[in-house]
Each structure stands twice: as structure tokens, then as C-alpha cells.
Amino acid sequence: MIRIAAFLLALLLLPIAMNIDGEAINRTELLTQVDHLVYATPDLNRGIGEIEQLTGVRASPGGQHPGGGTRNALVALGPTSYLEIIGPDPDQPAPKTPRSFGIDGLKHSRLATWAAKGNDLDRLKAQADLKGVSLTPVSPGSRKRPDGVMLSWRTTRPVDAVGDGIVPFFIDWGQSPHPSQTAAPGLTLIDLRAEHPDATRVQQVLSTLGLDLQVKQGANPGLVAIIKGPKGTVELR
């Protein structure tokens, strides 16, 4: 009886959500796929303040993105995932190309997109291309942490902007320490879901890429993250 009770308790503690048909589903697989969430803001200090007010945790400084005109601040969402708050960097000249995540046109902060974990991006791209979802060539990136440690990564993303940020980009940190290890602690990602006017099409692309994010029909496209922290369980959009 004790073993049965312990098993039932473990089931209750698993992350559970509802799918598009209202059926209970286990969210554990999705949460293992999330590398980080991207909270884009027109002003970094403003974005940091918004997250602190919502959750009770103040983000730690991340670093600059040289040439991109942006910098970030981070909050860990677990041992291998984090929330990235990203905005314009006043210490850099305006970039020659638009800043990432539509930051130049933002008037309000928003959960713009997410990054999925990847460890063989060249193979991922080849398989996705064969299945009809074209991904960009794998490209490198880097930034320096405030303590001087250089982080490097590789990314690939859908060629077409499918789902208005709901379909993520993929990231591989290689030998770099994962940013969640030095990000401000205190938050846990409980669930991630999405809404889109064309939920069926976006869900098909996610499924083709092997991603378990659930998309339901909604008037406007958007991501919804459920996060637990000092101020309880909150919703971030």
C-alpha cells in the first residue's frame, strides 16, 4: 500500500496540462526540450523590472551581443533552462540590420519565442529539410559573461517565420557552460503552451520537428509560460 501511495503521489507531482481536445497530458517531455524562453523588451531595465514585479526574482546580468545591438539578463527556470530578457544595448552603436526578435518595433515587452535544445544541428537540419520544413544554415554565436567567460553556441531556425515565434529556433551550447548555471535562481518552468489563429498548421510544423508544444486555437498568436516562484504560480505572455 505504501508503494502504491508513493507511486500515485509521484504521478500527481508530474507536470500536467490539457491538450487541444481537453485531455490531460504529461508535460515532462516538453519541459526537457526547452533551452530558454525569450522575453523581448524595448528597454532592458524595464523588462528586468517587469519580470521582478511579476515573479519576485530579479534577473542577473547576461552580456552583450556584439554587432547585434542587444544585451540580456537571465533567470534560471531549472537546471538546464532559463528565461532570457533581451533588449537594446545603449553601449553599442545601432546595428546595420534590424535587432533580433522584432525589438526595434516593440512598444511593450512580450514573450517573443523560445529556443529548443539541440546537440546535432546539422543532422537536425538535414532531416527537417527532407520532411518539408526548411531550416537555416547552422550558424555560430558568442558573447562574454560579466565574469569574462566566453560562451559560444550554434543555432538554426525555420527559414519561414512559422507561427509568429511559436515554432522555436534550436541551439547547441557545445562545450560552453549552460547559462542557467550562473543565472539568478528562484523560478521553475511549469508549462509552456501556445495559441494561434491557424493552430493546426503550426502544430503540424512543431510535430514534424519532434516538439511537444501544444497549440490551441486563438484570436492572436502567442506563447504562454506558466512559472512558479516567490510570488506563486504566474503566467507570462
How much is the CA Rg of the chain, to the nearest whole Å? 18
pLDDT in tens, 115-169: 999 999 999 999 999 999 999 999 999 999 999 999 999 999 999 877 899 999 9
- Whole-angstrom distance, CA of residue 129 vs CA of residue 17: 31
pLDDT in tens, 17-52: 443 333 334 568 899 999 999 999 999 999 999 999
Residue 161 confidence (pLDDT): 75
| CA-based nearest residue to 37, from 84, 86, 96 | 84
Residue 26 confidence (pLDDT): 52
pLDDT in tens, 181-234: 999 999 999 999 999 999 999 999 999 999 999 999 999 999 999 999 999 999
- Label residue 102 exposed, middle or buried (CB < 10 Å: 0-12, 13-18, 19+): middle
Q: Residue 108 is placed in which grid cell? A: 511593450
CATH class of the structural domain 35-186: alpha beta
> Higher confidence at residue 8 or residue 57?
57
Residue 160 confidence (pLDDT): 82
* Neighbour tally for 206: CB within 10 Å: 22
pLDDT in tens, 51-104: 999 999 999 999 999 999 999 999 999 999 999 999 999 999 999 999 999 999
Torsion angle in degrees (nearest 10) through CA of 16, 101, 210, 81: -50
Give the CB-side neighbour count of residue 53, counting CA atoms within 13 A: 6
Residue 28 confidence (pLDDT): 82
pTM for the whole structure: 0.88
